């Protein structure tokens, strides 16, 4: 295995740069007074079961697609299905590459490969998919976040991998 960093990635700075490149008004970030505490892993990654959480608007055939911005729903996506069966919709990024290969925003095939290769202990049977870019901080806090927490809390997992878009 490669070297594992104990420092979090600054996704906010990366997301801000990508969003600014789209030419929209500046994104209004929710801000908390203090960042969450960094929590070390309780057991090695190769023994851990991972929940996939994706904000790229993924859903599976038969489910209702996400609406445009401020859709605070979630979709539970079967992680046994190949990414080629996953659909995506989102208002804030070019959908063509993600529709050609949903692993770009919802890396379910890559995670299963990591399990097969022994780098991860397991993958939760379902992933939590939602639409990022919720403009209403209140709705993100009162609607979306509790739905995600409830879904992940019902899983028997050790880690959650958030794939932001």
Examine residue 25 and state whether it is found in any structural domain, yes or no: no
Separation CA 103–CA 52 (nearest Å): 12
Examine residue 34 and state whether it is found in any structural domain, yes or no: no
Range with lowest mean pLDDT among 15-24, 50-59, 130-139:
15-24
Residue 150 scores a pLDDT above 90: yes
Three-state DSSP class for 53? strand
Examine residue 122 and state whether it is found in any structural domain, yes or no: yes
Examine residue 141 and state whether it is found in any structural domain, yes or no: yes
Examine residue 14 and state whether it is found in any structural domain, yes or no: no
What the block records as the tokens of 62 is: 């038969």
Mean per-residue pLDDT, 106-122? 98
State how many domains the chain has: 1
Examine residue 18 and state whether it is found in any structural domain, yes or no: no
pTM of the model: 0.79
119 contacts 111 by C-beta, under 8 angstroms: no
Mean per-residue pLDDT, 1-17? 68
Examine residue 38 and state whether it is found in any structural domain, yes or no: no
pLDDT in tens, 129-146: 999 878 788 888 899 999
What b-and-e string marks burial along 21-54, b requiring 16 or more CB atoms within 10 Å of the CB?
A: eeeeeeeeeeeeeeeeeeeeeeeeeeeebbbbbb
Mean per-residue pLDDT, 54-82? 91
Residue 73 scores a pLDDT above 70: yes
Range of the domain at 86: 43-163
Residue 23 scores a pLDDT above 60: yes
Of the two residues 103 and 14, the one the predictor is more confident about is 103
Identify the pLDDT of residue 3.
59
Examine residue 110 and state whether it is found in any structural domain, yes or no: yes
Report the residue count for the chain: 165
**pLDDT band, residue 6 (cuts 50/70/90):** low
What the block records as the tokens of 36 is: 């969450």
88: which strand partners? Answer: 58
């Amino acid at each position: 295995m490669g070297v594992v960093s104990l420092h979090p990635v600054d996704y906010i700075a990366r997301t801000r740069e990508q969003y600014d490149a789209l030419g929209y008004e500046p994104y209004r970030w929710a801000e908390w007074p203090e960042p969450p505490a960094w929590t070390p892993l309780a057991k090695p990654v190769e023994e851990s079961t991972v929940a996939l959480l994706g904000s790229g608007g993924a859903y599976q055939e038969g489910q209702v697609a996400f609406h445009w911005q401020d859709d605070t729903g979630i979709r539970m996506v079967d992680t046994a299905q190949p990414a080629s069966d996953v659909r995506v919709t989102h208002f804030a990024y070019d959908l063509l590459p993600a529709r050609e290969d949903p692993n770009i925003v919802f890396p379910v095939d890559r995670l299963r490969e990591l399990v097969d290769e022994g780098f991860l202990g397991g993958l939760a049977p379902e992933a939590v998919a939602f639409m990022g870019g919720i403009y209403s901080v209140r709705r993100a806090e009162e609607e979306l976040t509790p739905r995600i927490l409830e879904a992940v809390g019902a899983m028997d997992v050790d880690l959650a991998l958030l794939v932001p878009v």
